[in-house]
Amino acid sequence: MSANSVALAYLIASVFFILALKGLSSPLTARRGNLFGMVGMAIAVATTLTITKNWALILACIALGGAVGAVVARRVQMTAMPELVAFMHSLVGLAAVFIAIAAVNNPVSFGLPAILPMGSKLELFLGTFIGAMTWSGSVIAFLKLSGRMSGAPITFGGQHMVNLILAVVMVAFGLWFFFSETTNWTAFAAMTAIAFVLGFLIIIPIGGADMPVVISMLNSYSGWAAAGIGFSLGNPMLIIAGSLVGSSGAILSYIMCKAMNRPFLSVILGGFGSEGGAVAASDQGQKTYRSGSADDAAFLMGNADTVIIVPGYGLAVARAQHAVKELAEKLHSKGVNVRFAIHPVAGRMPGHMNVLLAEAEIPYEQVLEMDEINSDFPNTDVVLILGANDVVNPAANVPGSPIYGMPILEAHKARTVMVVKRSMAAGYAGLDNDLFYMDKTMMVFGDAKKVVEDMVKAL
């Protein structure tokens, strides 16, 4: 293909990527968005193959990677989707690092001068730095999300100072790399290693409650890593696609932080709820709460006119989404108006609850976001909370609370509240929840799936 034909094909692929983002903005058009993304990627890959010579190696890698990806994606449960997303982000970052290493080792084969100019070195540095941080950060996120590492913030004295020193040292090695007349592998290897360590150190102090922000942030990082490598290789497709992913991830991170009423830097620089959580939980033994059974909860919901179900991470862990659909259908058959309230940061990735409810084929019109449904809680007969904690904690309205100002689902304003939890343990923010001790609240202890199934039987 001629250079103009390649540029046109890449432009068409970019249009499909933009249409994909547009489609993915709503559950109603998400399937179409995925299709647009697949078409755009197919055009981009096919175009790239026309301008390369080593078809056999590339096709072999595509076949191997595609086969592994297909098997992994088919075997992963929807409840484990956050872990899969983090794992995929890590591969994008690692790919950026490997491409940068190859370009530094043999720049001519990438269309670059044998002696790399300053601009190319800077682009390679940025791509390597962001890619390495994305890889190690995503690995930590994967380990935390999958339970292989504690979800609690992991901190140590002088952590921020260590990060600052490492960043300064990395920049120093980067400058050495820039101003070296020949390829300075010592400087390049040192700054790459430090970037890997920084990615690790930045993510370990972030607690499970902030994982939705971490996932969207790593998504942004992976895009910028690809864009940086695209500039180095002069590949417009990488630049455009990487910029789309990077900017959309950054916007999503901002939306997540806004939903938590927290500055973005506070998420990056410290663990959520690492202070004060233990003190709040220590009062737990002095409070009394009312508990009931699944039959009691079923009776209350069956005799209500309106019910709002608030899904949380506990629903994902119990894989209760299909049982919840049965419950909603059973209540609908009795003339009860059932809707679902979604908090932007519920779960462990952006849209986690939406994904689970969509998998259970719950009608989209029944699923409402926080801003759409909050005003309806005061007029709701029963609210059923399934494994959610921090996102319904009234402490967000109390000045001085660690989560003060965080927008919450105002379930405490409903006439009756039922909470399904395994225990009275605090959420990831480490705070006790006064909602659980209100006179209007009934606790139903047990696995969310088992409890909901018992409710369906009782109805």
- pLDDT of 112 reads 81
Every domain of the chain with CATH number 3.40.50.1220 lies at 281-458
The CATH T-level fold of domain 281-458 is Rossmann fold (3.40.50)
400 vs 278, more confident: 400
Distance CA 344, CA 262 (A): 13
- Residue 342: is its pLDDT beyond 90? yes
Distance CA 120, CA 129 (A): 14
- pLDDT of 326 reads 94
Ranges 46-55, 165-174, 414-423: which has the least confidence: 46-55
- Residue 195: is its pLDDT beyond 80? yes
455 falls in which pLDDT band (50, 70, 90)? very high
- pLDDT of 372 reads 92
- pLDDT of 441 reads 93
Percentage helix, strand, coil for the chain under 3-state DSSP, each rounded to 5: 65, 5, 25
- Residue 368: is its pLDDT beyond 80? yes
- DSSP reduced 3-state for 305: coil
- For 231, what's the count of Cα atoms within 13 Å in the CB-facing half-sphere? 18
- Residue 277: is its pLDDT beyond 70? no
Q: Give the contacts of 217 (CB within 8 A, at least 6 positions apart).
A: 249, 253, 267, 268
List strand residue ranges (DSSP E) for 131-216, in order.
Answer: none
- Residue 255: is its pLDDT beyond 90? no
**Are 366 and 100 within 8 A, CB to CB?**
no
pLDDT, average across residues 111-115: 83
- pLDDT of 209 reads 63
pLDDT, average across residues 441-449: 92
170 falls in which pLDDT band (50, 70, 90)? very high
pTM across the whole model: 0.74
- pLDDT of 268 reads 58
Q: Give the contacts of 212 (CB within 8 A, at least 6 positions apart).
A: 256, 344, 345, 347, 348, 349, 350, 352
* Greatest distance between any 2 Cα atoms in the chain: 80
- pLDDT of 275 reads 43
Q: Taking Cα atoms as reference points, which of 139, 283, 113, 262 lies closest to residue 202? A: 139
- pLDDT of 205 reads 84
Length of the chain in terms of residues written: 459
Question: What mean pLDDT, rounded, does the chain reach?
Answer: 85
The 8-class DSSP code of residue 440 comes to T
42 falls in which pLDDT band (50, 70, 90)? very high
List strand residue ranges (DSSP E) for 330-440, in order.
Answer: 337-342, 367-369, 382-386, 416-421
Max mean pLDDT range (79-83, 312-316, 386-390, 414-418): 414-418
pLDDT > 70: what percent of the chain?
92
User: Two tokens at 324?
Assistant: 């919840």
- Residue 169: is its pLDDT beyond 90? yes
pLDDT, average across residues 162-179: 92
pLDDT, average across residues 83-102: 87
**Are 235 and 47 within 8 A, CB to CB?**
no
- Residue 98: is its pLDDT beyond 70? yes
- pLDDT of 27 reads 74
310 falls in which pLDDT band (50, 70, 90)? very high
Q: Is the dihedral of CA 274, 439, 305, 380 positive or negative?
A: negative
13 falls in which pLDDT band (50, 70, 90)? very high
- Residue 146: is its pLDDT beyond 80? no
User: Two tokens at 224?
Assistant: 């910028």
> Known catalytic residue: 390?
yes
Which pLDDT tens digit goes with each residue over 150-166? 767 788 888 889 989 99
- pLDDT of 418 reads 95
- pLDDT of 280 reads 44
- Residue 331: is its pLDDT beyond 90? yes
pLDDT > 90: what percent of the chain?
36
Catalytic residue, candidates 210, 283, 305, 390: 390
Distance CA 400, CA 403 (A): 8
Distance CA 150, CA 144 (A): 6
pLDDT, average across residues 228-237: 84
- pLDDT of 276 reads 42
